[in-house]
Chains A and B, each alone.
Chain A
Amino acid sequence: SQQGEEDPQALSIQEGENATMNCSYKTSINNLQWYRQNSGRGLVHLILIRSNEREKHSGRLRVTLDTSKKSSSLLITASRAADTASYFCATLHLEYGNKLVFGAGTILRVKS
Chain B
Amino acid sequence: EPEVTQTPSHQVTQMGQEVILRCVPISNHLYFYWYRQILGQKVEFLVSFYNNEISEKSEIFDDQFSVERPDGSNFTLKIRSTKLEDSAMYFCAGLDRDWGGYTFGSGTRLTVV
B-binding residues in A (CB < 8 A): 30-31, 33, 35, 40-45, 48, 50, 88, 90, 92, 94, 97-105
Contact = CB atoms under 8 A, between A and B. Distances in A.
B56 A97 contact: yes
Contacts of A48: 99-101
Nearest to B6: A42
Q: Chain B contact residues: over half helix, strand or loop, or mixed? A: strand
Contacts of B100: 30-31, 48, 50, 92, 94
A35 B1 CA distance: 17
Interface of B: 31, 33, 35, 41-45, 48, 55-56, 89, 91, 93, 95, 97, 99-107, 109
A99 B106 contact: no
B48 A98 contact: yes
Contact of A88 (B43, B48, B101): B43
Contacts of A31: 100-101
B48 A97 contact: yes
B102 A97 contact: no
B109 A43 contact: no
